[in-house]
């Protein structure tokens, strides 16, 4: 009898040992196990995998895409020219060709260029003019400076300010962008001869000047600068 109890005890101990081994290898159910994977679900992923991906997706911040950036740029353009107008179409075409084109920034730069060019011409500063003008326009300005210097004339100018600047035309020609701006500015200017006699202008009068200038830039070029390619004065 004692031998029978000893055998029974040995089997009980062995069963407990096997159970503990299985528990350590297989683990225990906690209620968070992945459900069985269904290979016929058509997704190639288990539901738990999907849940993990969904959780990751919740933590992703979506940044504006190119389409949204272009829409924002178009809204800026619409502030400068009515939707459907030739100017609006031209500005949009330039924006499409040059992704960094912004009409507000362009107009701000055009105003600064206008003042620099007007004052550089008055001062006879060829170096500055050469950097801001196309070759054709520069040649015309340089010829006027040569004639003025040959006569011994000097110009004294004071730039009062720009009253208004509007984009009046815009277009793409192949890869070249063209934007025309109409400026209305205030200027004091007087021209004197060799003896200092005034031959043109009035040192005490502020004159309203109206100019229509066209700027151009090759959208393929890494050079971001625009150059003056055409000028026209309004009476």
CA–CA distance, 206 with 185 (Å, rounded to integer): 10
pLDDT at 14: 42
CA–CA distance, 95 with 76 (Å, rounded to integer): 11
For residue 148, the SS3 value is: helix
pLDDT at 60: 41
pLDDT at 33: 38
Q: Where are the domains of the chain?
A: 103-234
Q: What is the dihedral of CA 144, 164, 168, 74, to 10 degrees?
A: 130
CATH number of 103-234: 3.10.450.240
CA–CA distance, 160 with 118 (Å, rounded to integer): 12
Are the beta carbons of 106 and 226 closer than 8 angstroms?
Answer: yes
Q: What are phi and psi of 162, to 5 degrees?
A: -105, 120
Are the beta carbons of 161 and 206 closer than 8 angstroms?
Answer: no
H-helix or E-strand spanning residue 82: none
10-residue block means of pLDDT along the chain (235 residues)? 43 41 38 37 44 45 51 87 96 93 94 97 96 97 97 96 97 97 97 95 96 97 94 88
Nearest Cα neighbor of 85 from 167, 152, 151, 156 is: 167
pTM exceeds cut of 0.75 = no
- For the chain, helix, strand, coil in percent to 5 are 45, 25, 30
Are the beta carbons of 154 and 124 closer than 8 angstroms?
Answer: no
For residue 125, the SS3 value is: coil
pLDDT at 169: 97
Are the beta carbons of 173 and 194 closer than 8 angstroms?
Answer: no
């Amino acid at each position: 009898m004692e031998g029978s109890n000893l055998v029974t005890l040995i089997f009980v101990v062995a069963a407990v040992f096997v159970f503990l081994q299985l528990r350590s290898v297989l683990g225990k159910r906690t209620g968070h196990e992945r459900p069985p994977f269904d290979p016929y679900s058509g997704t190639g992923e288990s539901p738990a995998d999907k849940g993990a991906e969904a959780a990751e997706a919740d933590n992703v911040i979506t940044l504006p895409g190119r389409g949204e950036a272009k829409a924002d740029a178009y809204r800026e353009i619409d502030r400068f020219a009515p939707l459907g107008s030739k100017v609006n179409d031209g500005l949009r075409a330039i924006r499409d060709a040059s992704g960094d084109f912004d009409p507000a920034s362009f107009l701000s730069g055009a105003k600064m260029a206008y003042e620099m060019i007007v004052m550089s011409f008055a001062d006879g500063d060829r170096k500055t003019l050469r950097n801001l003008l196309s070759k054709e326009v520069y040649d015309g300005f340089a010829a006027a400076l040569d004639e003025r210097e040959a006569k011994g004339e000097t110009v004294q100018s004071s730039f009062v300010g720009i009253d208004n600047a509007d984009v009046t035309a815009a277009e793409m020609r192949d890869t070249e962008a063209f934007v025309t701006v109409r400026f209305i500015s205030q200027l004091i200017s007087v021209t004197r001869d060799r003896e200092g006699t005034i031959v043109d202008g009035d040192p005490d009068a502020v004159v309203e000047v109206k100019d229509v200038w066209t700027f151009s830039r090759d959208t393929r070029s890494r050079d971001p600068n625009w150059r003056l390619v055409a000028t026209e004065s309004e009476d």
